[in-house]
Every structure is written in C-alpha cells, then in structure tokens.
C-alpha cells in the first residue's frame, strides 16, 4: 500500500524521526536471546523460523530452553524433517499450542524434500508453508532475508494503539493498526527486521500491558495516549467471555511389570498428536463413559485442575484395569518416569499426583 499520510496526528516526517529514535534505542537495549546473531553476520533462516514459530503466543523466557534443545537435537532442517513425529511432539511437550509442533514438522518436510532445504525468501511464498501466517511470514522475510515486510504482532499493536490513541476496539482495529504500522516500515528496506525487533522489545520491556514504563520509552514524546494520560486505555478490547467448567476422568492402569498404560492422542483437536493417559472425553457433565476396554476400578480421591484457553478442567484420578493381552490401537505400556516429560501439562499434573500418592 502507498502511504503518504496515515494519521492526522503525526506527519510522515515525524514518523521517520520517531522510528529513528526507536532504532537507536534498540541498538542500546536489544534483548539478548540465542536466536539473535551479532550484527553483520547472516542469519540462518532455519533458526529464525524455529524461533518465530515457538514465539507465537509464547513468552521469550518460556521459549529459550526449547529452542536450544531443538537445535541441539535437529541442527538442520533436514534433521527435523527426518525426525519421527512423536519425537517432535515429545520435545514440544509443555510449550502448548501443539498444532504448532505438527505444522513445524510438516513444514520442515516440505522445505527439506520439495524445496531443496532452502526456505523461500519472500513473504508470499513463506505464507504458503504450514504454520506460517501473516505475522510469521513477515517476520522471517524481514529478519532472515532483509525484506521490507510489515511485521505486526501483539507488541506492535499495543505500541501503535497507544502511540496513535486508537479508539477502535480489537480485533476490528487490526486493519487500522496494520496501516499505521506500514507508515513506520515504509521505505526502511533491509532495516525492517530491526524495526520489528525494536517494536517487540519495546512492547515486551517498556510499553508493557500494565504499568508501562514511559520514562524509558524512546518515542514517548510522540505518544498520543501519554499526552492524554490514558496509556492503559489502549489497545481497546472487546468484551471477553467466561470460561466454562469441564470434567473428566483419567485412568491409571498398571501391568504386571509396574508399567502404566499410555495413549497416543488423535491427530486432530485438543492436544492433537500428543501423548496422554487413558481418559474419558472432557465434558460439562461429571459422568462420562470410559473407553469400553477399560474396567473402572476405584476413584483415587485425587483431582488435577488445569486451565485451557477456552475451558477449565477438573480431572479425577481413577484406578482401572484391562486385559493385558488386549490393548487396542494407540495404547501402549511404558515406564511412567520415562514418559512424564513427554506429556502435555494437564496429564503431567495428574501423573505427578499419582506418582506422589
């Protein structure tokens, strides 16, 4: 889009000045994270991609140990492509949004097998790959390939919603914020990646959601929200809805070797493709049928609680048994101490309660 004037509040000339101040601030204050390489070196697209997928909806601090581990185990995209999916899921366990791990693996296979191991170098082509959408395609294009992409994540939105005192509520304001962001990125060329990272570091450390540290902000002079002393009024959000309560039972079934029965979950839906324990479905009623090859024994008087994005879960621990000679598709016996770190958090909590009881 051509941008001559994006706001009646700030001129194009002023925008250039403010973004200069932001880039200067970034030179001094950038966060040191393992995927940021020293100035002058060429970034490895595989590392940039891996870090950006992990950082979706996830704080940098949570990402760092996972990022390091993944690169240790799978240093090249070809290594990740050749991995077994269950190994990728096991390494991702605890990081959440498991569709990211399934798509990560698929994407690695496309790049390794169909694209000669090279990530595409334009935003448009990147966006065609599994797990790469508007934000991530822009981020990789800018950071790994020096493209002038308009990188807009939640941090950029918060900074700009405040800078321009955008009264329109999210998610509708997304279009407006993208235009405002384009005003900042316009004409930057290969510096776009630096501006993106500057915005994100500013959003993470200074223009934080609550109690923003405006005294430390390099562009506070131009911030409309600050002029109004209404920083935390922006970005304006739509009303949020209540989280429903759901219930389920999780079954602890031992064999003669003292191993527990585990379950590889279906590829689709909640915790798709992840390791789990045998369980009922999770619903709004307390009584839900167990898988029919399981003989329910007795409640263990233990309950695990877990919060998902869209519901709260109460998981009752129940002892059970099966005919050891008949274990159906997707179920297998294993040492719980070998598997606990491969479980998503809801099951890990339940297993921990069981092992400590």
Partner DNA sequence: TGTCCACGTCT
Partner DNA sequence: AAGACGTGGAC
> Catalytic amino acids?
52
Q: How far is the CB of 58 from DNA (least distance, A)?
A: 4
Which contacts qualify for 126-133: CB closer than 8 Å, 24 or more apart?
130/103, 130/106, 131/53, 131/99, 131/100, 131/103, 131/104, 131/106, 131/107, 132/49, 132/53, 132/107
- Residue 46 phi/psi, 5-degree rounding, is -60, -45
- The least distance separating DNA from the CB of residue 226, rounded to whole angstroms, comes to 18
Q: Which is nearer to DNA, 148 or 153 (CB)?
A: 153
Strands 295-307 and 275-276, bridge-based pairing: unpaired
Task: State the Cα–Cα distance between residues 86 and 99, nearest whole angstrom.
Answer: 13
Residue 112 or 152 with smaller CB distance to DNA: 152
Of the pair 36, 174, the CB lying nearest DNA is at 174
Count, residues in the chain: 357
> CB–CB of 140/126 below 8 Å?
yes
Distances (CA, A) of 196 to 55, 159, 174, 190, 205: 14, 12, 17, 11, 14
CA distance 286 to 113: 47
| Cβ at position 302, least distance to DNA in Å | 18
Is residue 251 within a helix (H) or strand (E), and if so which, with residue range? strand 245-252
- In angstroms, what is the minimal distance from the CB of 97 to DNA? 5
Task: Pick between residue 148 and residue 157 the one whose CB is nearest to DNA.
Answer: 157
CA nearest to 117, candidates 202, 46, 40: 46
Residues 6+ apart with CB under 8 A from 186: 3
- Of the pair 9, 310, the CB lying nearest DNA is at 310
Q: Select 95 or 250, whichever has its Cβ closest to DNA.
A: 95
The secondary element (H helix, E strand) that includes residue 297 is strand 295-307
DSSP assignment of 277-296 equals: --B---BSSS--PPPTT-EE
Question: Is the Cβ–Cβ distance between 340 and 93 less than 8 Å?
Answer: no
Q: What is the largest CA-CA distance in the chain?
A: 76
Please give the residue ranges that form the binding site for DNA (CB under 7 A): 56-59, 61-62, 93-99, 103, 130-137, 153-155, 157-158, 170-171, 174, 203, 208-211, 237, 240, 269-272, 306-310, 344-346
* Of 7, 5, 4, 61, nearest in space to 34 by CA: 61
What whole-number distance in Å separates Cα of residue 35 and Cα of residue 50? 9
Give the nearer residue to DNA in terms of CB position, either 10 or 170.
Answer: 170
Minimum distance from residue 228 beta carbon to DNA (Å): 18
């Amino acid at each position: 889009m051509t941008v001559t004037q994006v706001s009646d509040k700030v001129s194009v000339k002023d925008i250039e000045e403010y973004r200069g101040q932001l880039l200067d601030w970034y030179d001094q204050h950038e966060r040191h994270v393992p995927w940021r390489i020293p100035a002058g070196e060429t970034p490895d697209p595989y590392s940039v991609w891996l870090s950006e997928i992990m950082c979706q909806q996830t704080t940098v601090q949570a990402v760092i140990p996972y990022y390091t581990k993944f690169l240790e185990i799978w240093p090249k995209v070809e290594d990740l492509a050749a991995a077994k999916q269950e190994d990728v899921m096991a390494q991702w366990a605890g990081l959440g949004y498991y569709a990211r791990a399934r798509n990560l693996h698929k994407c690695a296979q496309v790049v390794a097998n169909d694209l000669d191991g090279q990530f595409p170098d334009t935003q448009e082509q990147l966006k065609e790959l599994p797990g790469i959408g508007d934000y991530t395609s822009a981020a990789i294009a800018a950071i790994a390939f020096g493209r002038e992409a308009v990188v807009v994540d939640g941090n950029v939105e918060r900074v700009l919603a405040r800078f321009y005192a955008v009264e329109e509520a999210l998610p509708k304001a997304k279009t407006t914020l993208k235009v405002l962001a384009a005003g900042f990125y316009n004409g930057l060329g290969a510096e776009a990646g630096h501006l993106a990272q500057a915005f994100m570091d500013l959003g993470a450390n200074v223009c934080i959601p609550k109690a923003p540290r405006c005294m430390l902000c390099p562009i506070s002079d131009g911030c409309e929200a600050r002029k109004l002393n209404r920083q935390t009024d922006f970005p304006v959000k739509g009303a949020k809805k209540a989280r429903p309560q759901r219930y389920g039972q999780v079954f602890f079934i031992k064999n003669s070797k003292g191993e527990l029965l585990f379950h590889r979950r279906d590829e689709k839906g909640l915790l798709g493709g992840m390791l789990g324990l045998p369980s009922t479905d999770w619903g709004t009623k307390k009584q839900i049928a167990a898988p029919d090859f399981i003989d329910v024994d007795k409640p263990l008087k233990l309950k695990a609680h877990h919060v998902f994005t869209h519901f709260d879960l109460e998981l009752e621990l129940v002892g059970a048994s099966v005919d050891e000679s008949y274990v159906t598709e997707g179920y297998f016996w294993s040492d719980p101490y070998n598997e606990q770190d491969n479980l998503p958090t809801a099951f890990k909590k339940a297993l921990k309660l069981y092992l400590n009881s």
